[in-house]
Amino acid sequence: MMEVNKIYCMDAIEFLKKIENNSVDLIIVDPPYNISIDTWDKFESKEYLKWCNEWIDEILRVTRVNGSIYIFGDFRFVGDIKVLMNEKKVFLNSWIVWDKGTKAQNSTRSFINVTEHILFYIKGVIKDLNIPTEINSVRDYLREEKNKSEYTNKQFNFMFSELYNKVGCRDRSVIEHYFSEMQWVFPSKEIYEKILQKTGYFKRDYFNLKKEYKSLIYTFNIDDIRTKRNPKDKRVFRNDRQLVPNVWYFNVKDEMAKINHPTPKPLEMIKNIVKVSSDEGDLVLDCFIGSGTTAIACKQLGRNFIGCDNNKEYVEIANKRLIQNTLTKLNSENISPPKPKGMGIRNGRII
Ligand SMILES: C[S@@+](CC[C@H](N)C(=O)[O-])C[C@H]1O[C@@H](n2cnc3c(N)ncnc32)[C@H](O)[C@@H]1O
């Protein structure tokens, strides 16, 4: 059994083989790009993709259903990795372009490459952004209760019409959406409890129902990474806070200056990924952890991590950085309850 909050010095595929099925909430993969940055970054093209396919199959096995996977890549091979991923049971949520803010190089024969790419996937087949097709127990429950109550959609709409303004629902048909196949939405607490009062059905506790619903959808805490709206941005938003586009600007200068690793990722960028795609107490895995950026982000944000790198010196660097970053003490007490689909941690071990 593997211990969490630990970095192993071992080969990525060997390491992944030791991790339980469906046990990880978020995977961050920053593999060798095969662009000869270092000795570990050189492969024959065909060998490279074959090897990528091996770790891809392993990361898909260990991620929980609706868990998130971020794969970093360079323009030379990221397209090939996407082609490999097209064959898997995953949903491509976003293709993020990271502008590294690197200084202009002396290139007069090509466009200057200042970007890297991040493919963000959700494990599972998802019909639209909200409803995984594989699991919809919460929606089924609401529909069954509605059928038992024998009220029609029209009657529901009529009974609850006076509530719409109070709870900010502008769409009169919204109650129908709680029971529908298309555009399904999870009810607000106010309406759910009123439905119970008026019909005597829908007796399941709202809090527990919501907890189950949250575990069935993928985590996307976008509010945790929104910044104040840029006044120059003329697009119309519903509130004052900036939407988060798929072009990211993070400078890697600080990390490059301080860390003895050729390709550290900016800590703030990895923290944004961890914040948006995991909750406190979740398990985050990085199987090419290098200088330990993912581990540090997790430690600062109260997530559990597990990682590996096959280079002993990098593992030492990562462990040193971890000791210096003692902001959040992780222990098995602040770990959230196990997810359905097999995920769990007990006494610092994955079960
Ligand atoms: C792009 S770097 C990751 C950098 C990391 N994200 C950071 O912020 O420091 C890729 C890492 O993969 C490691 N690596 C290469 N081949 C490996 C393998 N077969 N198993 C495990 N790690 C490997 C390298 O030692 C290197 O540290």
The tens digit of pLDDT for each residue in 118-157 reads 999 999 865 555 555 545 788 889 999 999 999 888 888 7
Q: Which residues line ligand 1 (CB under 6 A)?
A: 11-12, 30, 32, 40, 261, 263-265, 288, 290-291, 293, 308-311, 314
Share the mean pLDDT of the chain: 85
Q: Which atom of ligand 1 is nearest to the CA of 41?
A: 15
Q: What is the DSSP letter of 223?
A: G
Residue 298 has pLDDT above 90, yes or no: yes
Residue 235 pLDDT > 80: no
- Give the atom of ligand 1 at the shortest distance from the alpha carbon of 31: 10
Contact 336, 330 (CB under 8 A): no
What is the position in ligand 1's atom list of the atom closest to the CA of 288?
Answer: 12
Please tell me the predicted confidence (pLDDT) of residue 226. 84
Which tops the pLDDT comparison, 187 or 25? 25
Q: How far apart are CA 31 and CA 80, in angstroms?
A: 14
pTM: predicted TM-score of the whole model, two decimal places: 0.79
Backbone φ and ψ of 233, nearest 5°: -80, 115
Which pLDDT value is given to residue 137?
84
Q: What is the pLDDT of residues 61-103, one digit of tens each?
A: 999 888 999 999 999 999 999 999 999 999 999 999 999 988 7
3-class state of residue 58 by DSSP: helix
**196-204: which pairs have CB atoms within 8 A and are 24 or more residues apart?**
198/159, 199/149, 199/151, 200/149, 201/145, 201/146, 201/148, 201/149, 202/142, 202/145, 202/149, 204/141
pLDDT of residue 292 exceeding 60, the answer is: yes
Residue 147, Cβ density class (10 Å: 0-12 exposed, 13-18 middle, ≥19 buried):
exposed
Q: Report residue 115's pLDDT band, with 50, 70 and 90 as the boundaries.
A: very high
Cα 98 to Cα 273, 308, 309, 329, distances in angstroms: 12, 24, 23, 31
The answer, yes or no, to whether residue 50 has pLDDT greater than 90, is: yes
